[in-house]
């Protein structure tokens, strides 16, 4: 079962190269329209909502957005999220700053 993915800008009804504020505005407007709570039992609206969320996630992140502008779809949002989480976890374990928070790690010796 192959699902063809549309251009993320097209999903949000935007022109390529638009500002992040425009992306956010379009996403919020469409997300409210297709939100599952506003369309109970409508599977098409639910799928559209998921597609909008994926498009927003990619386009609101500057590096993937530049790839999307060039037409490349080499990595999925979930793979970027998991690698970013792994990097943040590694930074916390090492006692470095992660997401604006600094966590001190202490080890006890016995």
CA 62 to chain centre: 11
Q: What is the pLDDT of residue 6?
A: 80
Q: What is the pLDDT of residue 17?
A: 85
List the domain boundaries for the chain: 1-72, 77-103
Q: What is the pLDDT of residue 42?
A: 95
Single pTM value for the model: 0.54
Count the Cβ atoms, other than its own, within 10 Å of residue 30: 20
| 27-48 pLDDT tens trace | 999 999 999 999 999 999 999 9
* Highest-confidence segment of 5-19, 29-43, 49-63: 29-43
C-alpha torsion 54→46→44→40, nearest 10 = -170
| 89-102 pLDDT tens trace | 444 444 445 455 55
Asked if residue 108 has pLDDT above 70, the reply is: no
In terms of CATH architecture, what is 1-72?
Orthogonal Bundle (1.10)
Cβ proximity of 18 and 9 under 8 Å: yes
CA distance 88 to 65: 22
C-alpha torsion 5→8→11→17, nearest 10 = -150
């Amino acid at each position: 079962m192959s699902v063809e993915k549309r251009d993320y800008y097209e999903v949000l009804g935007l022109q390529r190269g638009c500002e992040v504020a425009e992306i956010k505005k379009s996403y919020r407007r469409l997300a409210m329209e297709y939100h599952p709570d506003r369309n109970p039992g409508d599977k098409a609206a639910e799928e559209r909502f998921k597609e909008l969320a994926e498009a927003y996630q990619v386009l609101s992140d500057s590096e993937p957005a530049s790839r999307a502008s060039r037409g490349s779809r080499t990595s999925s949002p979930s793979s970027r999220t998991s690698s970013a989480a792994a990097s943040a976890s590694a930074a916390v374990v090492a006692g470095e700053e992660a997401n604006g928070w600094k966590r001190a790690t202490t080890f006890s010796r016995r």
